[in-house]
Copies of this chain bind each other. A is one copy, B any other.
């Protein structure tokens, strides 16, 4: 097992350290495990003058899987794109063809109270948002800011999807649904955007190969509403890059504990990048306060998706559930009557529970 470890910025390093700790506990000390650490984001600039140093890309490319922490610095968006720490992840996604972003939203029974939604709305939530990750307005050309004949400036970006891009992610959606509750909800804006008309047409066509999976469609505005109103109706929700960015964060927030949620971004060959949904959290970085569970569960997804070890993945998830049931809590999920612990103590507890 060859894993690239890219801790990145902010709390990325701390949480990734705990994920690796738990990984070693799962595999045993003499497993054939090759871990190669490389800098990315602001750490990449510091080490090599580039938020995505070519050496980092090469290490990631050569690995079977990538464990990613977080990248970015406050005020990121004012830095030119090529030197922007937060953009390094976008470039890596594109270069490695990591087109299928799995963002599960589920609720630990112990943490139902953390949601801002009423318990009956979210209890038992088990939703998979599948976001296309290498197309859409994120990467579409032409893009830029130019000056109009009138002398004022104009910004422009291009949303684009080809049939094959849509087909590829649609197949992933239907195959994923087959392992779950056999329902796919495709989210678009086909009533306004031609790109999304094609999206709906192609998803519908692909669905004929999966007659055992139910397909529904929602416009993105209605989907945002239904996520708030009745999220438990959804099984797999598939959508494009920009709508997926918005909806997957909204869905994560449903659970009230974004420090708990993992994600996986897969290429066609099962290579994957695994990262916690939370960001760099600069306010608590370096203080042993961050919740490492999202990173630990991301590592669990890595065992499942890239290394085909569902048994070990289950062990990771069970260990996390056990420490929660035993009352261990980092500050972000603190509850009266529970043991408040730091990042490394939480990692120790999960490793011990393995």
Chain A residues within 8 Å of B, Cβ to Cβ? 72, 76-77, 84, 86-87, 90, 116-118, 121, 137-138, 140, 143-145, 148, 152-164, 189-200, 220-222, 224-225, 227-230, 242-243, 245-250, 252-254, 256, 258
Contacts and interface: CB of A to CB of B under 8 A. Distances in A.
Nearest to A202: B153
Nearest to A79: B191
A163 B158 contact: no
A164 to B, nearest CB: 6
A221 B86 CA distance: 14
A193 B137 contact: yes
Contacts of A144: 194
A162 to B, nearest CB: 4
A143 B156 CA distance: 13
A176 to B, nearest CB: 22
A152 B162 contact: yes
Given A77-B191, A155-B195, A162-B153, A249 B221 contact: yes
Contacts of A152: 162-164
B143 A194 contact: yes
B145 A194 contact: yes
Contacts of A195: 145, 155-157
Contacts of A143: 193-194
A105 to B, nearest CB: 12
A218 to B, nearest CB: 11
A224 B198 contact: no
B246 A221 contact: yes
Contacts of A220: 245-246
Interface centre among A225, A252, A254, A256 (most CB of B within 10 A): A225
Given A221-B246, A224-B224, A156 B194 contact: yes
A149 to B, nearest CB: 11
A259 to B, nearest CB: 13
Contacts of A246: 220-221, 224, 243, 246
A148 B164 CA distance: 11
Contact of A154 (B160, B249, B254): B160
Contacts of A253: 224-225, 228-229
Nearest to A254: B228
A224 B197 contact: no
A281 to B, nearest CB: 13
